[in-house]
Amino acid sequence: MATDTMILKETQRKDRATGRESQWKMIWRRFRQHRLALVSLWIVIGFYLIAIFAEFLAPYAPSHYNSRYTYAAPQGIHLFDTDEQGNWGFRPFVYGYTTEIDQAAMRRTFVLDPDVKHRVQFFIETEPYRLAGFIPMQHRLFGVAEPRAPFYVLGADRLGRDLLSRLIHGTRISLSIGLVGVVLSLFFGVLIGGFSGFYGGWFDSIVQRTIEFIRSLPTIPLWLGLAAAMPRDWGALQTYFAITIILSVVGWTELARVVRGRFLALRTEDFVVAAQLDGASDYRVIMRHMVPSFMSHIIAAATLAIPGMILAETALSFLGLGLQAPIVSWGTLLQEAQNIRTLASAPWLLLPGVVVVIVILAMNFLGDGLRDAADPYGR
């Protein structure tokens, strides 16, 4: 095994030394030198894994509520405990709650009760569900054994729903909306930008003026307008796709510009002229000679576009014009943190904001790293 790795390493080194190393290997090698981007890559991968396995990871369904525990404080999770025989070991548990009535504010507050411990169990059996909508499952990663015991690791919201579970489910919506939005933008951006850059002429002029017009519109009011025009009675799925399309309306312009710029720069490169003089068709010139040399740039630009999409979705939903309850996204979760008084008593409702910040930063660092590594020849 070790020798295998050594042989592999040796061939890699040789490839590099003799110039056999392909573009993607060079990009990867350069990317790895960018520590922050590498860490960010793992963070982003982690969040997307959470999004994919949301039902399995979350202790409850997003709509699961318990009105006894509205605004219950975060329990935290305790990992080590002594068992009945007094042996200390890995035995995760959470404390139960006692309720106190705040007479002045006329409000219940929850205080952790160190005397009540609820054991946390892994791969706990629950009501059946479908993972990612199609794999039937009956177990979740973790939960408390007693069905009626409270389990609010990150606290509860105004209906006594588990914030952690909602955050995990919100991750799926928010991250996928960014991704779907960028894929849509990418499709239109590459298509329109590519035509614009390769053929130039009047088509290019029209596209450029259109892009300038769209980009001169203030985005938030534009989105608001479009969102407001959306019929109220649309279902969750329809709203979801409508929102991605609304976000892409502006998103494609940036990518179209990047693609067009690359096309313009490459069109006069000698190796592209050489391909044309070989007698290659336009399609072949584009796909075989031009696209490979800016593919990596496009990926980097797309990665940098995702955070914008996520933020836009969050902003729209926060304002109540994007996704609507019962869809759970980071934006709709933050919507509940709009009220100052609520925040004062339940500050954990701001946690979705923290997650947004982490993910956006990670994606930006990742995009920066990709962009720096994208051009292995440093041209």
Partner 1 sequence: MNDLIRVENLSKSFTLRRGLVGGLISLDALKDINLAVRPGETLAIVGESGCGKTTLGRCIVKAMTPNTGKVLYTPENGETIDLVGLKKRQMKPWRRDIRMIFQDPMSSLNPYMRVFDIVAEPLRIHKIAKGRELEDRVATALEKVGIDPAAGQRFPHAFSGGQRQRIGIARALVLDPRLVIADEAVSALDVSIQAQILNLLEDLKDDFGLTYIFISHDLGVVNYISDRVAVMYLGNIVELADTETLFERPRHPYTEVLLEALPIADPKRRAGKRTEARGEIPYIGNRPKGCPFHTRCRFAQDRCRNDRPELRKIDATEVACHFAETIELRGAYDSAPRPHISQKVSP
End-to-end CA distance of the chain: 39
Span of 43-51, 66-74, 287-295, 321-329 interacting with partner 1 by CB under 8 A: 287-295
State yes or no: residue 293 binds partner 1 (CB under 8 A): yes
List phi, psi (to 5°) of 100. Answer: -120, 145
Orientation angle between helical segments 23-32 and 2-18, nearest 10 degrees? 110
CB 329 within 8 A of CB 170: yes
State yes or no: residue 286 binds partner 1 (CB under 8 A): no
Among 132, 271, 287, 354, binds partner 1 (CB under 8 A): 271
Q: Which is nearer to partner 1, 105 or 274 (CB)?
A: 274
What is the nearest approach in angstroms of partner 1 to the Cβ of residue 34?
Answer: 21
Among 191, 273, 287, 357, binds partner 1 (CB under 8 A): 273
What is the nearest approach in angstroms of partner 1 to the Cβ of residue 301?
Answer: 18
Q: Which is nearer to partner 1, 242 or 275 (CB)?
A: 275
What is the nearest approach in angstroms of partner 1 to the Cβ of residue 255?
Answer: 21
Q: Shortest CA distance to 351 belongs to which of 156, 187, 185?
A: 156
Residues with Cβ within 8 Å of 152's Cβ and at least 6 positions away in sequence, in order, are 69, 72, 73, 74, 75, 162, 163, 164
Residue that is written with structure tokens 């960010």 in the block: 40
CB 158 within 8 A of CB 342: yes
Write the binding mask 21 to 60 for partner 1: x where contact by CB under 8 A, - elsewhere: xxx-------------------------------------
Span of 16-24, 188-196, 220-228, 362-370 interacting with partner 1 by CB under 8 A: 16-24
d(CA 152, CA 163): 7
Taking the CA atoms of residue 256, residue 260, residue 261 and residue 267 in that order, the dihedral angle to the nearest 10 degrees is: 160
State yes or no: residue 270 binds partner 1 (CB under 8 A): yes
Span of 47-55, 273-281, 299-307, 350-358 interacting with partner 1 by CB under 8 A: 273-281
Residues that bind partner 1 (CB under 8 A): 18-23, 269-271, 273-280, 284, 288-289, 292-293, 377, 379
